[in-house]
Structure 1
Amino acid sequence: MTAPAHTPAPRPATLADIPELIRLRAVALASLDVDPGPADSAWRQNAHGWFAERVTGRTDVHCLVVGGAGGEPLLATGMAWVTYHLPSPQWPDGRRGYLDGIVTDEAARGRGHGRRIVDGLVSWLNAGGIHYIQLHASADGEPVYKAAGFVTGRYPGMDLFTTRPTHHH
């Protein structure tokens, strides 16, 4: 099934997309009630190198984007990467996939971009022999992931913060 001409298909991200990837990360943070802070925030500077490494130098990471042609803004993005776990009878090599950073810009929501990105990332992982894929869903993203076949995980997620993060302004 090909997307109609007015809904561009997801494509792999390039270095030229990094400013927009960082902008969409800020959109995602704001939708999670996290203030992304000013344009010179430390996380934004870190994100540039973080994305550059993963867009160009890693075979175990895949970043898809929609839009961004000819200097236009990106409409949506998402990433998948390989995570490494202990081998088990069901998953003999211990590899899993993890989806993260899936966000559609506010003005472009409701057009299926998120679902097409999820499907593209799942296909990429499947092509690499990875058939156990995990994610942490926001309330906004949960219906998209359920529609794509994701189910509630067998074990609940837990977090431990051993130090309080410092905020640099």
Structure 2
Amino acid sequence: MIETRRATAADATELVRLRAVMLGAMAGQPVEPGPWQEHSRALLRRRLAEAGPTMAAYVVDGADGLAACAVGAIDERLGGPANPSGRTGYVYNVVTDEAYRRRGLSRACMTALLDWFAGRGVSAVDLRATADGEPLYRALGFAPVAHPTLRLITGR
């Protein structure tokens, strides 16, 4: 059995390192270091240390750092018939370091994160999937939604 644990603020640097691994895999090339890393570390340190947290990360430890993680947060939206509370989970970061892949670590982290969401009354969870990750998410019960996701980026 794979042992996961809830990440703490002390894991922020490793969580950001794994985020760069994930972003690099999505882009097909290494991600440039930059201010995004310190901002992400600060956000993780703050949010993972909150009492009554609305962000959690589940990790598997490796020999020299984190081997895998799944990070998610709870957003409060207006409720509706399918989700009366409006509490919606969003999964940000699911990644396994290359040396540890194909061992079920991402599945273990995702399962722990989904249990955390369920324990907080979250009945809807969203994520964006890569082609490599989609089979895992479908196996966990995720399905496409009827409406497209659109994004507006301003201020660049």
Q: Name the TM-score, length of structure 1 as normaliser.
A: 0.84
- Give the one of 129, 150, 155 matched to 1:158: 150
- Separation in structure 1 between the aligned mates of residue 121 and residue 9 of structure 2, nearest angstrom: 27
- Give the one of 10, 17, 28 matched to 1:23: 17
Structure 1, residues 105-157: CA drift from partner, whole Å, max 9, x if none? 01111100111111111111111111111111111211110111111112111
Give the direction of change, closer, same or farther, for the CA distance of 1:19–1:162 in structure 2 (3 Å limit).
closer
Give the letter for the 1:51 counterpart.
L
1:1-169 alignment, distance < 5 Å: 3=1, 7=2, 9-33=3-27, 35-38=30-33, 41-57=34-50, 59-68=53-62, 72-164=64-156
Gaps of 5+ in 2: none
Give the letter for the 1:49 counterpart.
A
- Separation in structure 1 between the aligned mates of residue 7 and residue 115 of structure 2, nearest angstrom: 16
- Count of residue correspondences: 154
- Separation in structure 2 between the aligned mates of residue 82 and residue 146 of structure 1, nearest angstrom: 21
* Max Rg structure: 1
Q: Could you say what secondary structure the match of 1:32 adopts?
A: helix
Q: Which runs of 4+ in 1 moved over 3 A?
A: none
Q: Name the TM-score, length of structure 2 as normaliser.
A: 0.90
Gaps of 5+ in 1: 165-169
* Cα RMSD for the two superposed structures: 1.6
